[in-house]
Amino acid sequence: MKIADVKVTVWEWNDIPPTRYTLNVKSSGTRSTHMALVRIITDDGIEGHAFLGNALSSLGDDAKLIAERYKPMLVGMDPLARELIYQRISTWAMGSVMRVIGAIDVALWDLAGKAAGIPIHRLMGSYRDTVPAYASSAVFEHTEEYAEEAIRYKEAGWSAYKIHPPAQAAWDIKICEAVRRAVGDDYRIMLDSTWSYDYPDALRVGRAAEALNFYWYEDPLAYDDLYGYIKLKQDLRIPIMATEMPSTGPTAYAPWILQKATDYLRGDVAIKGGLTSCLKTAHTAETFQMNYEVHHGGNSLNNVANLHLIMAVKNCEYFEVLLPDEVQKHGLVQDIEVDKNGMVHAHQEPGLGAEIDFDLIEHNKVADL
């Protein structure tokens, strides 16, 4: 079996409502963006699929890169030689190119699962078939909106709630206090400050979150402030989560582990270069008794890929559901749903096991590459 063709279809996602997650990742009005469907096709007619893009950023040259740079490298190769392909296409790769590598890798895993007639998590070696979900907020304008949303998800049976605050230290502390009062002392809440603070503010907010018994404290400092994270981890008892960024492969985690700068490792198939890269990192984390908490994947099919990874490893506690749905769910006939007990279930069909909405893509198609 050989790769016979690589095709990319770009389509438009319209009517995305205004949303904010960090100081910089936000939209001020209803908008549209471009997404891409990646198809890797074998001479046996088996196809592997992946999505490129997300609601709040431009697709840029990602689709063109696959068609122009990576297609000539892939055609004629054995699609089951994922490690060989990963090594060839990831050399010197970083930044936005990791999204492209991630999409190629996800499509290859999808293809391999279909060829074998089993879901990806079985191909990796399944550990479980359900996992608890946590609700991950957008940034709100008012403190009480966080508290109200946290109560809704607690009452719906979800096991945890994560705050993305406005990144103003004093206000962020008030939000943490309001959410803790609203949900009570026995409910898990986390804080993700999205690389927003200097060290004094990170320490001040961290001490407040610690006093409120938050479950983890995520990305308070700039993503490359290794020295700051080492100090922060020494000064706080609350578990620190870092390493979601930058967009690099598994070797970038080494200094964070060796210098004990974080309690958790973090990543997803878009930022870190696909399932192959993330699986390596999850197993590395396990050797150091660390969790590899998988980050939201940026689009619906990436989240399905993330879910397969989570089902195949021991050391990831949760599936992240980034809110609101209308900014995160698009392109599938049936997206991932959380059941009444707050659990997400593994896909059991071959490959990714999710049904792509090809009619929607065709109706909104912009270009075939």
Q: What tens digit of pLDDT does each residue of 133-145 get?
A: 999 999 999 999 9
* Band of residue 30 on the pLDDT scale cut at 50, 70, 90: confident
Instruction: Measure the CA–CA gap between 265 and 290, rounded to whole angstroms.
Output: 7
Would you say 226 and 258 are in contact if contact means Cβ atoms under 8 Å apart? no
The answer, yes or no, to whether residue 27 has pLDDT greater than 90, is no
Beta bridge partners of 193: none
122-345 CATH, one of 3.20.20.30, 3.20.20.120, 1.10.10.10, 3.30.470.20: 3.20.20.120
| Averaged pLDDT of the chain | 96
CA 211 to chain centre: 28
What DSSP string describes 157-186? T-SEEEE---S-HHHHHHHHHHHHHHH-TT
pLDDT of residue 129: 98
**Ramachandran region, residue 167 (left: φ > 0; alpha: ψ -120 to 50; beta: rest):** left
pLDDT, tens digit (0-9, with 9 covering 90-100), for 291-336: 999 999 999 999 999 999 999 999 999 999 999 999 999 999 999 9
CATH code of the region 3-118+356-368: 3.30.390.10
CB 345 within 8 A of CB 339: yes
Domain residue extents for the chain: 3-118+356-368, 122-345
Range with lowest mean pLDDT among 17-31, 140-154, 285-299 = 17-31
Both ends of the chain: CA-CA distance in Å? 23
| Distance from the Cα of residue 320 to its chain's centroid | 8
Q: Please state the pTM of the whole predicted model.
A: 0.97
DSSP, collapsed to helix, strand or coil, labels residue 294 as strand
Percent of the chain with pLDDT over 70: 98
For the chain, what percentages of helix, strand and coil (3-state, to nearest 5) are there?
A: 40, 20, 40
Three-state SS at 116: helix
* Torsion angles phi and psi, residue 84, rounded to 5: -60, -45
Whether the link from the prior residue into 166 is cis, omega within 30° of 0, is no
Percent of the chain with pLDDT over 90: 92
Cα–Cα distance measured from residue 348 to residue 166, given in angstroms and rounded to the nearest whole number: 39
Residue 257 has pLDDT above 70, yes or no: yes
